[in-house]
A = this chain, B = another copy of it.
Amino acid sequence: MKLVIVGGVAGGASAAARARRLDERAEIVVFERGPDPSFANCGLPYYVGGEIRDRTKLLVTSPEVLKGRYNLDVRTDTEVVGIDRDARTVTARRLADGTTYVQPYDALILAPGAEPLRPSIPGIDLPGVFTLRNLPDVDRIKAAVDRGSRRATLVGAGFIGLELAENLVRRGVETTLVELQDQVLPPLDREMTTPLVEALGAKGVVVRLRESAEAIRAVAGGLAIDLRSGGTIEADLVVLGVGVRPENALAKAAGLEIGQRGGIRVDDRMRTSDPAIFAVGDAVEIRDFVSGAPAQVPLAGPANRQGRIAADNVFGRESRYRGTQGTAIVGFFGHAAAITGASEKALRREGRSYQKIYVHANQHASYYPGARPMTIKLLFEGPSGRILGAQVVGEDGVDNRVNVIATAIQAGMTVFDLEEVELAYAPQFGSAKDAINMAGFVASNVLRGDVRQVHVDELDEQRLLGAAIIDVRTPKEFAAGRIEGAVNIPLEQLRTRIGEVPRDRPVVVHCQVGMRGYMATRILRDAGLDSANLAGGYKTYRLYHPECKL
């Protein structure tokens, strides 16, 4: 078996390593255009900030180890420039001297990744304007900071933009984030990003939303970024992080099927439209685990696992990829934000019916020092309760919770299952009723009809219907910050003051996180009043209305 692999990092190196374990005799040739195979893309931002000091740490394995241990023939600085499907050969070009040669294959795995998008605006090619994909890129960015760049503009507030922001601030660089959308971290739902914007602001990062760079100009002492809104930002350094585009040129030229958004089309065995050619990683179009629709999700875990699956199939094994959930996490300035499965906006886009709940809980027992708040947004389907997606934002324990829900989604679990999951509890690690159980309780209560919810984005509609808003928190909480028009009847007094609750119009109750509000609806229901609970209470209200006091 002659196996040729194009791309030697996440998907490619994993496929090669697995291939070797499956077949000791296969001839395995890995072509890598860059100077380094098997490096830590995901660590690059931390090298800029100095959190990772030693550059060699970014080299996960060396060509020597890949040769010595895996007996892989890794050819770096070599680009594959053509595929002859009939002849089953690829043409490789040595970048050092431009010479080319032909390499035959029995099976070919394409793992070329995706390249950073470079919007076609004036000045995009000026010195000082960077993208970040590999070690040469990071060397350039780091060199610019080392040389004394003191002002950076990051175009795009996605995962990489936020990580870079943290790392530039760590280096004392004044940092501005420019983002086209009306939120940072576009895969998440907007309200869930409120704490992130606040965390960025607290560290001095300027966040410019609904904004884009229209042109970049060289000016005295640096660069000027002209914004769509008319303003200009000056910077010494611009990094573009506005997304990636699958590297599909080779596949396209070879006539392989390409998806609508540019990803190489593969089946669940990672096989392209040519049965001898497989493709994996950022370059491919996969199936979204939740929606079943085609999608492109550039993440390292999926790339690694797809590589392993492609190798399995090259050697005739029954190994299938289940689709990508898009489980992702980012940490910066002591905050973490994570997502798995569908977001609310994705569900809306698909026109799919869904329900949602919010839980604000601590990552561990509140009585134990260091308890920090965390918000979970859970999206699910009624009446089955099937979990569709979740987002978790907080300071600690976010990875833990998103992983549990990611596992639950893959298992096809429901919110009723989350009521019963038995998670580890000791004061430092969780709660007797973990935040995950709480999410299960709250969602199940909604599905069982034990409580009717109103969402913050439905409040205006409720107001138009003349709804009374009753705040059942304590007078102190009410005084600190409240929803306009709300009347305060603390839960403790609700039973005796129930006569004050209007019977002639809709009633929305709310508390701080949703729990007392829920209890209030139960009390009101007993008195014949059909009230609704504001989902997630004032804390969720504030996610939508960051201008309000907490």
Binding site for B on A (CB under 8 A): 10, 14, 20-22, 24-25, 40, 42-43, 46, 51-52, 57-58, 60, 68-71, 159, 163, 289, 299-305, 308, 321-322, 324-325, 327-331, 336, 338, 340, 365, 367-369, 397, 399-400, 402-404, 406-408, 410-413, 417, 419-430, 432-434, 436-437, 441, 450, 491-492, 495, 516, 518-519, 522-523, 525-526
Contacts and interface: CB of A to CB of B under 8 A. Distances in A.
A276 to B, nearest CB: 24
A422 B324 contact: yes
A331 B432 contact: no
A336 B400 CA distance: 15
A427 B46 contact: yes
- Rank and list the top 7 A-B pairs by shortest CB-CB distance, nearest first: A411-B411, A24-B526, A68-B492, A329-B424, A300-B432, A57-B367, A400-B400
A423 B410 CA distance: 10
Copies in the complex: 2
Contact of A368 (B51, B406, B419): B51
A376 to B, nearest CB: 14
A495 B429 contact: no
Nearest to A47: B367
Given A42-B365, A491-B69, A403 B423 contact: yes
Given A327-B423, A328-B425, A403-B430, 20 more contacts: A21-B519, A22-B522, A42-B427, A43-B427, A51-B369, A68-B492, A71-B495, A163-B426, A301-B433, A305-B433, A330-B426, A331-B428, A397-B399, A400-B403, A404-B404, A406-B422, A407-B411, A407-B423, A410-B417, A411-B411
A305 B420 contact: yes
Contacts of A413: 407, 411
A331 B429 contact: yes
A283 to B, nearest CB: 16
Nearest to A341: B422
A425 B21 contact: no
Contacts of A522: 20-22, 24
B367 A336 contact: no
A25 to B, nearest CB: 6
Nearest to A327: B422
A287 to B, nearest CB: 13
20 contacts: A20-B522, A21-B450, A21-B518, A68-B491, A299-B425, A305-B422, A308-B441, A321-B420, A322-B420, A325-B422, A327-B424, A328-B424, A329-B430, A340-B422, A340-B424, A397-B399, A399-B430, A403-B403, A406-B424, A411-B411
A46 B437 contact: no
B329 A429 contact: yes
Nearest to A423: B403
Contact of A407 (B301, B397, B404, B427): B404
Determine which residue in A308, A330, A421 has the highest number of CB atoms from chain B within 10 A of its CB, and name it. Answer: A421
A525 to B, nearest CB: 8
A408 B406 contact: no
A47 to B, nearest CB: 9
A426 B421 CA distance: 25
A365 to B, nearest CB: 7
Nearest to A159: B426
Contacts of A338: 424
Nearest to A364: B399
Nearest to A491: B69
Given A21-B522, A432-B42, A423 B437 contact: no
Contacts of A25: 526
A545 to B, nearest CB: 27
A60 B367 contact: yes
A280 B369 CA distance: 29
Contact of A408 (B51, B57, B407, B437): B407
A14 B437 CA distance: 13
A523 B430 contact: no
A9 to B, nearest CB: 10
Contacts of A425: 42, 299-301, 327-329
Determine which residue in A46, A289, A412, A427 has the highest number of CB atoms from chain B within 10 A of its CB, and name it. Answer: A427
A182 B318 CA distance: 45
A369 B50 CA distance: 10
Contact of A422 (B43, B367, B410): B410
Contacts of A421: 406-407, 410
A282 to B, nearest CB: 13
A537 to B, nearest CB: 15
A22 B523 CA distance: 10
A497 to B, nearest CB: 13
A14 B419 CA distance: 14
A407 B409 CA distance: 11
